[in-house]
Structure formats: structure tokens, C-alpha cells
A and B are shown apart, each in its own frame.
Chain A
Amino acid sequence: MKPILEIESLKKYYGKSKNKTKALDGITFQVMPGEFLGIMGSSGSGKSTLLNCIAAVIQPSGGTISMNGRQIQSLKGAELAGYRGKEIGYLFQNFELLDNLTGRENILLPLSLHGIAEQESRKRLEQLASYLEVQEVLGKFPAQMSGGQKQRVAAARALILNPGIILADEPTGALDSKNAKALMEKLLGLNQNTDATILMVTHDSNAASYCRRILFIQDGIIFHELRREVPFESQQEFYGRILKVMAQLGGGSANVL
């Protein structure tokens, strides 16, 4: 099986010579189709930079990113916009729903951006809305929705064009624990039932325990990797292991390393 996403010694430096910050300093990993991959790290470790590089929102300083065998650094203009819109689905920490558009209009926004006729996606909209339980808020504006509903509408928007990979940037960051759990279960369900590939950046260990594999990043490099041993390992046990690594990553790392 070919990997859907390949990252090869990816580097991103900010600033000039003396005060250069190495946000990413040579990161290499692959994502296989149908994988649910988590990326964890403390604040400033470079995880959002990594996600932004993959989303082609920022240009890396070195290395390659290949999506389905195609290098995305070489994409320009319309191709790039097409890549961002159709091949990846992006889930934001703050939902980034447009507050003057209704739920339905928000979900259909990618279609409108890429000039795709609405009729084609009507069925998919219904499926997604029913799976994510947002049918009743389709006609409402974001101000009239709860946080969980907003994020689920945002998820529907990220999925409407059936992207090859979903990039989720701290999707539970702005949610309470109950809504966070509900969202993660929906994402897990998507992953298991439809083989959706998900790459999620988080520093919520609870959310991370839904993943199959977790990469830990510190100071721009991959510092550790965890794999959940299915079916032998329960989510609870996996969570315990994550916490241990996080303890090392945090203030404790100096003592351990």
C-alpha cells in the first residue's frame, strides 16, 4: 500500500542567520490511507507549523511534502487553491465558521469557492449532516449554535468535498470535555467506517488517545512515537502511555533525558 502523505526531512526556519528559529528541523514520516495519526507536542514545538506546511498555507524552507505522490511545493495558483480545497479538509481549533452564513451555507462554502454545482453534493450534505447530527442547525447562523454544533458543522464543511486527508488543528481546543468526546467519537467513526485518513494536531492527551499512532514533536524534530496495540490495548491504557510521554515532554524532560 502506498502512503497517502509523505514528509521527507521537512524544515521551516523563521528569521535570519543569528536569530533564526528552527520551527521544523528535518521531520520525516508517512501517513498511510485510513490512518488516524496524532501529532503532539508542547506549545511552540512546531506542530502547527507542520500542519500549515502540509496545508500549503506556508512554504517550508527545505524538504518535501508529497500528497498521493505529488509534491505540493511545486503547486501554484489555481492548482494550489484546488489542493487546499479538495485534497485536504481542514478543521480549525476555533471552527472558523463564517458568522454571517447559515450552517448549510457554511458547509457548502467549499463548493462555492471551487465553482462546483451544489446539486452534486446535496446527497453528501444530507449524509454528513445526519451522521454529525447537525440537521436541525443547518438553517441557523453560528451565533445560534452551541460550540459542539459549530465544530460538527465545521467538520461537515471539511468533509463535504470528500478530501483525501483531514487535517485537524486542535479540534477539541475550544470545546468542553463532553463536546470534545462527542466530536472525537464522530471522527473515530469516520475513520473506522469510511477509512477517512485523519492527521490531528493536539495537546489534549484525551483526544489523542483516539488515534492509532502518535508522533511527539519537540524543538522541531520527532522526539518519540507511540502506536496503540489494537486490539490488545484499551484506549484507557493507551491514554496512560501518552501521559507518560507527555510528562517527559513537559518540564520533566530535562530530568529524563
Chain B
Amino acid sequence: MFFKLVSQNSKRSRKENGLFFSSLLISILAFYLVLSLSQQDVMVFLSKMESDAVNKLLALIPAFYAMALIILFFLIYYASKFQLERRRHEFGVYLMLGMRRTRLFAMLLAEDFRGSVISLLLGLPAAALLAELVSLVTARLVGLGIVGHRLSFSLDAALWTAVGFLLVKLAAFLILSGKISRQEIGSLLTETPEGARKQMHPAAYGGAVLVGAACLAAAYAMAIRGDAWDGIKRMGLALILGVFGTFLFFWGLRLPLGLAARLGNSNRRLHVFNFRQIQENVIRRSGALASCSLLMLAALCCFGAGVSISRHYGDSGQHVLDYTFHGTEDEGPAGQPLGEREDAGAKGQGSGENDKTAAIRQTLAEHGLEGYFSNLFEMKIGHIGTSEDTGNAFQMESAMSALREMEPSRARDMLLNNLSYTTYPYVVSLGSYNQLLEAAGLEKLELGAGEAAVYMDREYASVGGAEELLGRVLEARPKALLGGEELYLTGPVQTVNLVTDRSITLNFALILPEELFGSCTQGEYGSYLNGVLDKSTVEHASLMALFSDMNQKLDSTGLPYESYLQNMGRQLFYMVASSYITIYLAIIFLIVANTIIGVQFLISQQKSGRRYRALIHLGAAYAGLRKSARAQINWYFGIPAGMAAFGSLFGVRALFTGILPSGAKTDLPGMMAVSAAMVLALCVAEFCYITAVKRSSDRYLLALMVPEREE
């Protein structure tokens, strides 16, 4: 009998409370997803390329797991609370009939456990499937076949998911059932409206709203100006102000809501009732609402920032070169290492080394590797050697003045600023650049004698139309002075990456005809051997396998090299680490916040079932009640969500100022647009949640319309 009751109750719980059951499933999915991260294709791939960083990230997983545990505890706690609250009367009846409290407890525990096991049985396969899907989708998104897919079910992850889930469930259950079992039978049997609340003077609430708003404004201002990033103390202050302000604001919100009930358009149907209901909910749960609002804000910020950051890192431009070998054509220190600003280019190019391009070629040939490349060519890059005066070796006054006369814009100011420092630019040989263009499948560049083309890295050129702006200046073939010699600058601006390493970027360089290059550098230049793999000769499951294979072969030659894959890996890592985790957190935050709000609304609606019944007696029609409840839901969700959306305008922006790399900062408007789009997408998610709660509320009201026999 006992077990029959348990099984029937647990079945009924699942059927009646989809919200509860689905939040259990979501928790399982969330646990499994974070735990199986190391099995994801992208992560498997990255651990080969960037093992240090990946290991650091994976070492963080237990921390994420613990965090998910805490957050999901709240989710399960509130969902279970709703579940148990609606059965209060039933428990009262059991106790009245003489069931002992320990037995009731045992019965609830058994029901709970049964429910958990069923959730796990359903949830784990779903989670594994979802993880598989995420793995596949990310693999496709990041590299179209770069990463080979393999099946990735992780038993460890499944086990830990089960352990974490059961643990959280048990903790929530113990707290809740403890609360329920301490109550008197009488109070279980009656639907008790929560006791009368102490009312403070309205001025206290008004003051709270104002002070809260002021705190929030201060926190937003600190965030957006970037002050908050100056140090831990300031950051802490901004956070405390924000959190404190939010709580205070929600606490004081009862006053404006009360005023709205009193002063609003009271001729609208049930206007007063609606606002009193919302006010009551806000009064009772101002703390929970404030927390939910903060969670939503965190979700919005995570989401916006995650997507923007990944977009920034994901936008790596076209993929032309597969390998670059470092070496110097010339002996001695004259071989200038490229990229003084970012010394990654100098890596592997020891100053004393004496490898020549030819020698590299030879080494490759000796190891039988030359055939793997469809194209191997030299990239010659050097400095002006004809002038000692690095402050004035290059002058382009006419181009600068033409630029100054253009319409003021951010791009113009940025160009003017950057170009004013280009007094000693790199020079690139036209011959090697044309080979690069050929490899990229682009048209060759033709330069007349005394002409130079302008090179600018894509990262700089793509900002706010700088490329187009400079192109317009170059149409007029402005005159410039290079080491005292006159030459004409021509467009269009060249932007194809010179070497494989994407951390090497040139703000400004000149592409010179072979002859001019020779005389200008006086034969002293740095040289790189670029290689493009011949993909047709090698058959591989994925580009990744091809690269891994090739890297192994190249490692045996002892040649220093930079491969597209390593760059790809670095970029991927940033992208995956930032976007995967932020988006994951965003989704969890959002689900938890929305579930708590939804569940709270439904609990309070059931508690005020008596009021709805009175309204029905007074002649309320179903349509009217439905409309009224729906309006309440809109407000109840809308207040915290609106606060969060408003805060996210500042929050996302603050995140950008604080954590984005400088290159990405220049494209702030673009980033903000992406974030705005994400916020919009999240509004859609919010809408879905609200709709679900509305449906639930409609069902409840419809059930109320059928009168009970009271005798």
C-alpha cells in the first residue's frame, strides 16, 4: 500500500507539474554539459594545441560544477517548494488520519527519490545527446571540418551528474520537508493567507526607492566609465552599490505599486485588484525578486559579452597560408624580426640563427616533405635602411592633409592618430606579396616605378571603414618621401595576412617594387618561408588530422615553424573559453531566475485561490480573471526583467571596456549591436517563459470556475 501510494503520487507530481519536472531535467542537462566539457570535440582538439590553457580551463571545471550545484540548488528548492506547497492539504489529511510524521517523511523521501531516478533515467540520455549535438555544432561552427567528430559519452560526467543532482535534490528536500513537518495539522489543512505584515511609514519606502535608484545610478556610472576596473576595491564598491541598490529598490517598490493601484485608471477592469496582487507579491518576495533580477542581469551580460567576444575572435579573416617557417635570407643581425610590438614573430627566430630560405627548402626536401606543399614561397619584409633618422625616414604630408580635410569621423581621427607615428614603416617586397595574392587566388598587384602600395592589417583596416577612407585618399596618388626619395602612394589598401601567425599584425607598411625594395632595404631584410599544404594529395578525415600529421613530420626536421592550426587553436581557445562558458552560465542564470519567478507567482496564485473564488461569486467571468492574471504575470516578470534589461545596457558596455582586447574595443558600436541582438533574443526566451506560466495560470483559473460542493 505504501509503495503504491508512493508510485501514484510521484506519477501524479510529474503529470501535474510539468514546470517542476522540466526544471529537474534542465538541472541534469546543465550538470552533464559542464562535466562533459573535456570530451567536447573542440576541447579535445584544443588540448592538443594549447594544452596549458586548456588544462587550466579544465581545472576550473570542479569550480564550475560547485557553482552550478549552488545555483541549481535554488532552482530545485523553489520548484520543490511549489510542488510540496500545493499538497499541503493532502499532507494534513494524512496526518489527521493518523499517519506518523516519520512515515509521512519516509513517504515523501521515497517519492522524491523515485522522481529523481526517473528524471535521471530520462535526463541523462537527453543530456548525452545534447552534449553530442553541442559538440557537433561547435565543431561545425568553428572550423567546418577542421575538427573531426567522435562520439563522446563520458561515464564520469554521467556519474558526477547523478551524484550532484541527487545531492542537491536531497538537500532541498530535507529543508522543505523539515519546514512542512513542523507545521500544525490545522495550518496544513487550511489555505492560510500569510500573516499580516508590518507596515512602515510610506516615506521609508519612498526613500528606499530613491536611495536604491541613486546607488544603481552610481554603480552604472562607475561601470560605464571604466572606473570599476581600476582595482579590486573599486570593482567591489561598484558591485556592492549595484547589489545593494537593486535590493533596496525592490524593497521600496511597494510604494509606487500601491500608488499605481490607488491612482491609476481605476475604471479598467480589476485594475486595483491586479496592482494589489502584484504589490503583495513584491512585498513578500522583494528579496527573491531582486536576486532574480540580478541573475537575469548576469545572464544578459554573460550572453552579450560571450557572443561579442567570440565574434571578435572568430572573425579571423581568410585562411590562405598553412605554414610559415622562420629564417633569414641574410647573415647577421640585419635580419629584422617582424613585429617588434608583439614579439611572437621573433619566436623561433633566434638572432644568431643563420638559416636561409634555401636551407629550409633543402631540409624540407631532405625529409621528403616538399611534396606536401602546393606552394612554398618567400615573404620578404624589411626596414628602411637608407635613412638613419627613424623619426623622419618616411613622410606622407599630402596624404595626411587630404585625410584631415575629410569629414570628421571616428575612423578618420583614428587613422590620423595612427598614421602620425608611421615614420619608420616596414617595407614588403612586391614580388613576394604577389605570390601571396596568387596563393589567395587574388589578382596580382601592378606597381609602376616610384610607386608604393599601402599595406594595413585587416584588424586595423576593418575598423569603422578605415580601409575605405584611406582608399579614397590613395585614389589621388599622394606624394610621399621615403628616405629622402619621392614616391607615389597608390590604392587599394592591401590587407592579406603576410604570415601565418595571426598575432603578428602590421598597422602600416609599404609594398615596394622589387628594385626599390632592394635599394631601400640595402639588401638587409627579414625573410619568411610561407607554405600552403597540398590538400589534394593527402586524404584525411579532417583538416585537424592533416595538420597534426604534418606537424609531427615537421617536428622531426627541427625547423622552427608556425602553423595555421596553432593560431586557429589559440583563437579557438579564446572563443570557446569565453563564449562557451559565458553562454552556459547565461542560460543557467536565466533558467533559474525565470523558474523562481514563475514558481513564486504560481504559488501565490494558488494561495490566493480564495480571492479568485470570491471574485467568481461576485460575478467575474473566466475571460476577465484570465486577463487579470495575465496582466499580473506580465508585471511580475516584467519588473525584474525590465530592471535587468536596463542594467544590461550598462553592464555589457562595462564588460567591453573592462575585458575586451584593445583591438576589439575599436569596434565597440558593432559589439554593442551584437549584444543588443542577444538581449532581444533573450527577451524572446523571456516571452516563452511568460507564456508557459500564463498557460499554467489559465488552467488553474479554469479549474476554479467549476464550483466545489461545499457541504
Q: List 6 A-B contacts (CB under 8 A).
A: A23-B711, A49-B711, A85-B618, A98-B615, A113-B624, A118-B267
8 A Cβ contacts from B186-203 to A: 193, 196
8 A Cβ contacts from B580-600 to A: none
Contact among B273, B276, B619 for A82, CB-based, below 8 A: B619
8 A Cβ contacts from A76-134 to B: 77-78, 80-86, 90, 92, 96-101, 105, 108-110, 112-118
Contact among A81, A82, A84, A113 for B270, CB-based, below 8 A: A113
8 A Cβ contacts from B249-303 to A: 261, 266-273, 276-277, 279-280
Shortest Cβ distance from residue A203 to the other chain B in the assembled complex, whole angstroms? 12
Whether A78 contacts B621 in the complex (CB less than 8 A), given A105-B272, A112-B269, A115-B267, comes out as yes
Closest residue of B by beta carbon distance from A55: B617
| A43→B619 contact, CB < 8 A | no
**Residue B610 at the chain A interface, CB threshold 8 Å:** yes
Closest residue of B by beta carbon distance from A110: B618
Q: Which 7 A-B pairs have the closest CB atoms?
A: A85-B619, A84-B619, A81-B621, A96-B614, A100-B276, A143-B196, A100-B280
| A98→B276 contact, CB < 8 A | yes
Residues in A neighbouring B619, C-beta threshold 8 A: 81-86, 110, 113-114
Closest residue of A by beta carbon distance from B278: A100
**Residue A247 at the chain B interface, CB threshold 8 Å:** no
Shortest Cβ distance from residue B346 to the other chain A in the assembled complex, whole angstroms? 73
**Residue B366 at the chain A interface, CB threshold 8 Å:** no
Q: Chain B, 590-628, contact with A by CB distance < 8 Å: what is the 0/1 string?
A: 000000000000000000101101111111110110000
Contact among B277, B610, B618, B711 for A43, CB-based, below 8 A: B711
Whether A52 contacts B707 in the complex (CB less than 8 A), given A83-B619, A101-B272, A110-B619, comes out as yes
Closest residue of B by beta carbon distance from A118: B266
Report Cα–Cα, A98/B273, bound state, in Å.
9
**Residue A152 at the chain B interface, CB threshold 8 Å:** no
Residues in A neighbouring B261, C-beta threshold 8 A: 105
Where the two chains meet, the residues of A that have a C-beta atom closer than 8 Å to any C-beta of B are 14, 23, 43-44, 48-49, 52, 55, 57-58, 77-78, 80-86, 90, 92, 96-101, 105, 108-110, 112-118, 143, 157
| B267→A117 contact, CB < 8 A | yes
Report Cα–Cα, A48/B707, bound state, in Å.
12
Contact among B270, B617, B711 for A92, CB-based, below 8 A: B617
Q: Chain B, 687-711, contact with A by CB distance < 8 Å: what is the 0/1 string?
A: 0000000000000000000010111
| Residue of B279, B610, B613, B615 ringed by the most chain A CB atoms within 10 A | B615
Closest residue of B by beta carbon distance from A89: B618
Whether A112 contacts B271 in the complex (CB less than 8 A), given A84-B618, A85-B618, comes out as yes
Contact among B279, B620, B711 for A113, CB-based, below 8 A: B620
Whether A112 contacts B270 in the complex (CB less than 8 A), given A44-B711, A81-B619, comes out as yes
| A157→B711 contact, CB < 8 A | no
Contact among A44, A80, A90 for B621, CB-based, below 8 A: A80
**A84-B617, A100-B276 known; 5 other A-B pairs, CB under 8 Å?**
A57-B617, A81-B624, A85-B619, A109-B618, A112-B269
Closest residue of A by beta carbon distance from B269: A115
Shortest Cβ distance from residue A54 to the other chain B in the assembled complex, whole angstroms? 12
Residues in B neighbouring A49, C-beta threshold 8 A: 709, 711
Q: Chain B, 18-52, contact with A by CB distance < 8 Å: what is the 0/1 string?
A: 00000000000000000000000000000000000
| B614→A98 contact, CB < 8 A | yes
Shortest Cβ distance from residue A111 to the other chain B in the assembled complex, whole angstroms? 8
| A100→B621 contact, CB < 8 A | no
Residues in A neighbouring B615, C-beta threshold 8 A: 98, 109, 113
Contact among A48, A81, A116 for B711, CB-based, below 8 A: A48
Report Cα–Cα, A233/B551, bound state, in Å.
115
Closest residue of B by beta carbon distance from A167: B617
Shortest Cβ distance from residue A200 to the other chain B in the assembled complex, whole angstroms? 16
Closest residue of B by beta carbon distance from A85: B619
Shortest Cβ distance from residue A82 to the other chain B in the assembled complex, whole angstroms? 7
Shortest Cβ distance from residue B585 to the other chain A in the assembled complex, whole angstroms? 37
Closest residue of A by beta carbon distance from B196: A143
Residues in B neighbouring A96, C-beta threshold 8 A: 610, 613-614, 617
Report Cα–Cα, A23/B266, bound state, in Å.
41
| A105→B618 contact, CB < 8 A | no
Residues in B neighbouring A44, C-beta threshold 8 A: 711
Q: Chain B, 651-665, contact with A by CB distance < 8 Å: what is the 0/1 string?
A: 000000000000000
Residues in B neighbouring A86, C-beta threshold 8 A: 619
Report Cα–Cα, A86/B619, bound state, in Å.
8
Contact among B268, B610, B614, B620 for A81, CB-based, below 8 A: B620
| Residue of B196, B618, B624 ringed by the most chain A CB atoms within 10 A | B618
Residues in A neighbouring B279, C-beta threshold 8 A: 100
| Residue of B268, B270, B613, B614 ringed by the most chain A CB atoms within 10 A | B614
Residues in B neighbouring A100, C-beta threshold 8 A: 276-277, 279-280, 608, 611
| Residue of B610, B616, B621, B707 ringed by the most chain A CB atoms within 10 A | B621
| B611→A98 contact, CB < 8 A | yes
Closest residue of A by beta carbon distance from B706: A58
Residues in A neighbouring B614, C-beta threshold 8 A: 92, 96-98
Report Cα–Cα, A43/B710, bound state, in Å.
11
Report Cα–Cα, A115/B273, bound state, in Å.
13
